[in-house]
Amino acid sequence: MRRAMNFYAPLRGAGIHVHHISANFEEVEVHMPLTRRNKNIMGTQFGGSLYAMADPFYMLILMKRLGSRYHVWDQEANIRFVAPGNALVKGVYQVDDQTLEEIKAKAATGEKVLHTFETDITHADGSVVAHVTKVLYIRLKKQYRPNPN
């Protein structure tokens, strides 16, 4: 999966590299070095590339961990730029077991669940470059929803 993600054109084109995927798909770590492909006019990380680092990963984690019984869609996203990205940056996207169980419990009624995830994109020293908020839509597929009777 990691290799396939690294060949995905939107990520590869920005120089984004999936560095690590945990065995249970609970965590994905993504790196992006500063290169001519993602450098803006100010010589720092292009904001669109910083967002691309975060765009698909919570959705992919949930799709993998919840399985095929659920619809998972991005509903909303926000990125707040905190400091210029002037070197390698990384993002870590994680959905722990407790959060997964909470989502499953809420979705068990058949209603939609909107869950908010937040993470920081940082330099190697941990200093924050951008703060990302993602809202995901999760719902059991129609054939798995409880009977309304």
Token match 């500063």: residue? Answer: 34
In a domain, 133, yes or no: yes
pLDDT band at 147 (very low <50, low <70, confident <90, very high): confident
Predicted pLDDT of residue 149: 66
CATH code assigned at 19: 3.10.129.10
Q: List b or e across 118-143, with b for residues whose CB sees 16 or more CB atoms inside 10 angstroms.
A: ebbbbbeeeeebbbbebebebbbeee
In a domain, 102, yes or no: yes
In a domain, 113, yes or no: yes
> Which residues form the domain of 92?
2-144
Using one digit for the tens of pLDDT, what is the confidence trace for 76-108? 999 999 999 999 999 999 999 999 999 999 999
In a domain, 66, yes or no: yes
Using one digit for the tens of pLDDT, what is the confidence trace for 17-34? 999 999 999 999 999 999
Can you give the length of the chain in residues? 149
User: How many domains, in total, are found in the chain?
Assistant: 1
- What is the chain's mean pLDDT, rounded? 95
Instruction: State pTM to two decimals.
Output: 0.93
Predicted pLDDT of residue 23: 94
pLDDT band at 7 (very low <50, low <70, confident <90, very high): confident
Amino acid at 103: I
In a domain, 45, yes or no: yes
d(CA 63, CA 3): 18
> Mean pLDDT across the stretch 110-123?
98
Q: Give the pairing type, strands 17-21 and 70-81.
A: unpaired
Token match 């009624």: residue? Answer: 109
pLDDT band at 1 (very low <50, low <70, confident <90, very high): confident
d(CA 132, CA 57): 12
Predicted pLDDT of residue 134: 98
Predicted pLDDT of residue 144: 94
In a domain, 149, yes or no: no
In a domain, 52, yes or no: yes
With the C-alpha atoms ordered 139, 143, 146, 149, is the resulting torsion angle positive or negative? positive
